[in-house]
Amino acid sequence: ISELQNCQPFVVDTLHGKIAVAHNGELVNASALRKKVMRHGVGLSTSSDSELITQLLALTPPMEELDTPDWVARIKNLMTETPTSYSLLVMYKDVIYAVRDPYGNRPLSIGRLVPISKLHSSGAGEADTEGWVVSSESCSFQSIGAKYYREVQPGEIVQISKNGVKSLIVVPRPEGDPPAFCIFEYVYFARPDSIFEGQMVYTVRQRCGRQLAIEAPTDADVVSTVPESATPAALGYAQQSGLPYVEVLCKNRYVGRTFIQPNTRLRQLGVAKKFGALTDNFAGKRVVLIDDSIVRGNTISPIIKLLKEAGATEVHIRVASPPIRFPCYMGINIPTKEELIANKPEFEDIAGYIGATSVRYLSVEGLVSAVQGGIESHGKDERISTKSSRFGHCTACLTGKYPVELEW
């Protein structure tokens, strides 16, 4: 819930001093953990899982001397209490612990601050490091004068201090369970210049577009995109299909992203204000319009209407991800199945419902293939086990197969 009281970081006084916690994700067993904390007499003042994590870290008494806090043991204990979904930063005095849950569901990257003169140089070695930063996405580093260093691995606890970066431990998943990095980070959420699993998001989206052209070709004159997150996929579709890529929509950059708007009215108003038609590029032509995803169906229908009224003879929708059919319980705003267009009766004739000439989606297998096709192995560090470095992705919103059992 977006309320001021839920703002991060959460800071609490503990027996050993203050700790500060920042968190990305949503705990799959939060309800049970809230009851556990409150049974210990600890009150919770917000609805945020981040406060719950903070109180669990402060409350949990591992085997330690009273005057020597063992925060790594406390973090490990937290990781045994809840399997996913969290990427965490825990700060105690002058030390930061960067943590990813054993399934690696949410991203977390480390960057190093370097002299501005060496920011764009390949010759900036570790001796030039002026400090360390941590972010969900590597794209944020350059804007503060930092260079990408590496990702925190699934289950890994990394200590960052004035002495540098040190991998302390990798907490394993249950035997046989693969990682479950959110595949929707590649589809929509991440900025295209971010790096996950050794590959740039932009490149993955291009591969999705090429795969989509193989799976869902059509007779058309031009390929275009719903800007901006679908642009790499549209370029990939154009490259694979041999159709020319043109821009058909001009985006108003002063309006926020519609999917993240918290209610239907704001989403619909966002669509109405968001785009203008570049008529000269497509009037009298058949358009293949690439979108990254269709969640509720509120955005795409008025865009199709806009293009047809501006002169497009046909508008074929090609979606560079599979239909979203299931809610996410790990940190994404998809609260109910009923909201999703893929679960409504209208989905049987979705083209007619949204006003398109045709609609085709990328398959789950095609998406997974496009994502996993360029992943580099991270097994070089002997402290990171082969099992921990094996890649895998959460497709629960597409398939209903959640990486862990959900608890309510």
Strands 286-291 and 275-277: unpaired
CA distance 6 to 340: 27
Contact 394, 182 (CB under 8 A): yes
CA distance 356 to 178: 39
Annotation-wise, does 291 bind a ligand? yes
Closest CA to 25 of 96, 108, 97, 92: 108
CA dihedral 365, 367, 369, 372 (to 10 degrees): -130
Q: Which amino acid is it at 244?
A: P
Annotation-wise, does 394 bind a ligand? yes
Annotation-wise, does 67 bind a ligand? no
Annotation-wise, does 139 bind a ligand? no
Q: Cα angle at 380 between 375 and 384, to 5 degrees?
A: 95
Residue positions forming the annotated binding site: 182, 229, 291-292, 328, 394, 397
Residue positions forming the annotated binding site for [4Fe-4S] cluster: 182, 328, 394, 397
Residue positions forming the annotated binding site for Mg(2+): 229, 291-292
